[in-house]
Homo-oligomer: A and B are copies of this chain.
Amino acid sequence: MQDIADRLGISRGTVSLVLSGKAKEGRIGDELQNRVKELARELNYIPNEIARSLSTGVTKTIGVIVPDISNEFFGKMIFFIQEQAKYHGYAVITINTNECLKDFDEAVTILMNKQVDGIILVPVEGGNEIVKKIMSRKIPLVLIDRFYEDIDTTYIVTDNYDASSRAIELILNEGYKRNAVICYDINLFALTERKKGCIDVLKKHGVYDERLIKNIHYDNQEIEIEKAITDLKNEPDKVEAIFFCTRRIFLTGVKYMHQQGIHIPGDMRVICFDEVDAFSFANIPVTYIKQPIQQIGEKAIEALFDQIRGSDQAEHIVLNSEIKFSL
């Protein structure tokens, strides 16, 4: 920039005005503007956004924290978030938590140190204080997929309870009475709601059996899911259907069922919370719940920009999911 100014015999300030598109405010002549732009191009001038950020206090960068970006569900969500962010001139830094509190804490610290203009995050169990820390800094914040009941943040979630209830209801109507639920043992809104939605409907129909509700530790999931399925298979009173609370549990579970020769749907009907890309090529019948992933991403960005623009209203958005059938 100094270089350009020197060569043109003008001041750095003037160059800055032209290059940042504020030429009008500075009332700088068209001819001069062109000479500056021309020279900038010739010199392959690359503006240093770090310097600009330091000066303006704006980084044009947002942070996104998810459990695991390689998970199809979050991968797609981040794709939509990134495309929207790009459209608005923002870059996105993503960090994975692996559902681990320490990673979550570090992710938040990194993003705050980097002075991001806002954060979209999937909270981790027990991260309440960390989220409060962000809020105390007045950093624009949107929670997605889950939220903490004791903190009033903006959040975008789906109708977990209701969608699960409807799916189970459907299965019951098909005649499947003894239905099991396999879910993580994590105390987070989205998951507890799904479980609750199932249980309440089963109770309402008088077919609830608490032994058929299996809780899985995230860290040891493969083994525990397999054990759960073995247990269910060996139930004296035959289990007819399994509701898998997440796509990952579903994939692990069905893989194991194949290995064990448990036929779907002959031996067991299956329900999956979330869509799997590959339903399309598997020829097994699956009833599944399709969350509006694109909408979640876009609403999240929208709500975040509302805050970046100055709004301090906490918005609570609940989107509806669809129940679908794979065949």
Interface set of A (CB-CB < 8 Å, partner B): 44, 46-51, 53-54, 59, 61, 68-72, 75-76, 78-79, 82-83, 86, 91-96, 103, 106, 109-110, 112-115, 133, 136-137, 250-251, 254-255, 258, 276-284
Contact = CB atoms under 8 A, between A and B. Distances in A.
Given A46-B137, A86-B96, A283-B283, 12 more contacts: A49-B115, A50-B50, A50-B53, A69-B78, A70-B72, A86-B103, A91-B95, A92-B94, A251-B280, A251-B281, A258-B281, A278-B279
Contacts of A72: 70, 72, 75, 277
Main secondary structure of the interface of A (DSSP, over half): helix
A278 B251 contact: yes
A177 to B, nearest CB: 25
Contacts of A49: 113-115
A115 B54 CA distance: 13
Among A70, A75, A93, A282, max chain B CB count under 10 A is at: A70
Contacts of A83: 96
Contacts of A61: 93, 114
A42 B133 CA distance: 13
Contact of A96 (B82, B93, B113, B136): B82
B92 A50 contact: no
A113 B46 contact: yes
Contacts of A106: 86
A286 to B, nearest CB: 9
A300 to B, nearest CB: 15
Contact of A281 (B69, B79, B282): B282
